[in-house]
Amino acid sequence: MTTKILYLFTRTPLHVGAGASVGAIDQPVVRERHTGFPHVPGSAIKGVLADHYLDDRSKGGVRTEDGTALFGRQGHEVDKDVPDKGHKSGDISIAEAKLLAFPVRSPKGCFAWVTSPLLLKRWQQATGKTVNYPDGLPAGVQIYGDAATLAENGIVVLEDYALEHQGDFQPGAEFTSAIGDPLWIDLQASHLCLISDDMMAHFAVTACEVAQHVSINDESGTADDGKLFNQENVPAETLFYSVLTELREDAFPKLKIPAILQIGGDATTGLGFCSAQLS
């Protein structure tokens, strides 16, 4: 089976919710259970892509012929009494988008993109591409990255942590050219860092932004008393990748990926806009 990689680079904060929570965050983002890394479910990506294959002439939102072939037939399109109008699965499989690089604030250089050996090895497994690792992998509070941009006296400060600079990190062109977003192209050479898996897990859980919202009363148009809630968002400039698999031949030529996709909730307030690239 043929596979391709869909890269998503968030231009604005992203919220794909995991439902209500009993913790301090009322509306957390969806995360991997065993690592805590944020991810984007394949169903969310599939739904967004499928929406670009609706027949404009149809008031019911029926998918075009290519849309039906790629993503299957929707429930309201199924007609068991009409030949070739029964249930149909899609010709491509869309996996969840996994984390590849995550932005973390820094007092020098403004911010850093952090990745870790686990994230890179997952990406290598999915793509078959190579990564140039430094001579020693980071452990504990060690970090590899561009000293001129981020380090001061051998220390890189990310969030509230002082990390020990160990040397440069140049993963190679196969990794750094993964997505053609102008911001990534311009800054990754000086802002991309390699940290330990332990630190990566910590930042991925604690360094997402938390926005406060309040419910609005429909009748008064003002804030509802006692309806303050916290919403967690994955920050802008986060890099994800998803594995797309061709389940039937000649499916990929029908797949067109818009340069910009909106994924998740709160589209009307600017959340979830991502640069997208299929390779």
CB 104 within 8 A of CB 159: yes
Q: Which of 49-58, 110-119, 136-145, 233-242 has the lowest mean pLDDT?
A: 49-58
Q: Output the pLDDT for position 25.
A: 73
Q: Output the pLDDT for position 58.
A: 55
Amino acid at 223: A
Helix (H, G, I), strand (E, B) or coil at 216: strand
Helix (H, G, I), strand (E, B) or coil at 30: coil
H helices of the chain, in order, are 42-50, 65-71, 117-127, 147-150, 173-176, 182-191, 197-206
User: What mean pLDDT comes out for the span 226-230?
Assistant: 72
Model pLDDT for residues 158-216, shown as the tens digit of each residue: 999 999 999 999 999 999 998 999 999 999 999 999 999 999 999 999 999 988 866 66
CB 97 within 8 A of CB 272: no
Model pLDDT for residues 23-50, shown as the tens digit of each residue: 677 788 999 999 999 999 999 999 999 9
In Å, how far from its chain's centre is CA 211?
Answer: 19
Rounded CA-CA distance 222/17 in Å is 25
CB 264 within 8 A of CB 44: yes
Sign of CA dihedral 198, 121, 273, 14: negative
Q: How much of the chain exceeds pLDDT 70, in percent? A: 86
Mean pLDDT of the chain: 89
Rounded CA-CA distance 262/272 in Å is 5
Q: Is the pLDDT of residue 92 over 70?
A: yes
End-to-end CA distance of the chain: 15
- pLDDT tier at 220, thresholds 50, 70, 90: low
pTM confidence score = 0.90
How many Cβ atoms from other residues are within 10 Å of residue 231's Cβ? 20
255: which residues sit within 8 A by CB, 6+ positions away? 49, 70, 92, 244, 278
H helices of 105-254, in order, are 117-127, 147-150, 173-176, 182-191, 197-206
Rounded CA-CA distance 241/9 in Å is 9
Rounded CA-CA distance 162/69 in Å is 52
Domain limits, the chain = 3-55+93-220+235-278
Q: Is the pLDDT of residue 227 over 70?
A: no
Q: Which of 2-16, 60-74, 117-131 has the lowest mean pLDDT?
A: 60-74
